[in-house]
A and B are shown apart, each in its own frame.
Chain A
Amino acid sequence: GDSVTQMEGPVTLSEEAFLTINCTYTATGYPSLFWYVQYPGEGLQLLLKATKADDKGSNKGFEATYRKETTSFHLEKGSVQVSDSAVYFCALSEMPNAGKSTFGDGTTLTVKP
């Protein structure tokens, strides 16, 4: 079955530091890949997505590139802010059951001023 493995946390960085959260996946077909973010006490929000190999998803300074050869979708940001402190989830979905996503365990990021 499908699975998503993401970097264990927690991750603690100083403001303006570079962020990488690793994510690798296994899937039987050609999944779409997502990063979701969860702020404390809230539901998840879509951060970015990529639907095919070599696509780069980007939003709010975050980027991730769909790498089929390494089955990876690592999340990066060049300069984090305190407001980026949250839990980040890597996920995939495959047709025909596109809505039934598989999630990683989540990585907690804390950014200190």
Chain B
Amino acid sequence: GAVVSQHPSRVICKSGTSVKIECRSLDFQATTMFWYRQFPKKSLMLMATSNEGSKATYEQGVEKDKFLINHASLTLSTLTVTSAHPEDSSFYICSAQAGGSTGELFFGEGSRLTVL
């Protein structure tokens, strides 16, 4: 199956700093990727849809200036958490859909962000 890789898997940063998380499709091209946030023992909350070569589409309530998404190529999307605060601590997951699929998503391994 298609492989999506996410990096870093864990990151700890100080409050006020910015953190970048990468999501790569390793063996297919992904014109669209999705970014989620998952709280402990909760489902995935879709944050935004990342479109290659254009602006991301953010879900209601998600601050686009706080969570910057860049999809510069068909195999890479990045999520930058700017001026991170402890309440931004969470598990962030990306996914992508391979071409010709019937809607199934391929997920990255997730990134655990801890803001001190």
Binding site for B on A (CB under 8 A): 31-32, 34, 36, 41-46, 49, 51, 89, 93-95, 98-101, 103-106, 108
Contacts and interface: CB of A to CB of B under 8 A. Distances in A.
B34 A45 contact: no
A99 to B, nearest CB: 4
Contact of B108 (A31, A43, A46, A98): A43
Interface residues of B, number: 26
B107 A34 contact: no
A98 B93 contact: no
Nearest to A51: B102
A34 B105 CA distance: 9
B1 interface: yes
Interface of B: 1, 4, 6, 32, 34, 41-44, 46, 49, 93, 95-97, 101-110, 112
8 contacts: A32-B104, A41-B110, A43-B93, A44-B44, A44-B107, A45-B107, A98-B97, A105-B43
B99 to A, nearest CB: 11
Nearest to A46: B104
A100 B93 contact: no
B110 A100 contact: no
A103 B104 CA distance: 12
A31 B6 CA distance: 28
Contacts of A42: 109-110
Contact of A100 (B1, B46, B106): B46
Nearest to B98: A99
A86 to B, nearest CB: 13
Contacts of B43: 89, 103-106
Nearest to B96: A99
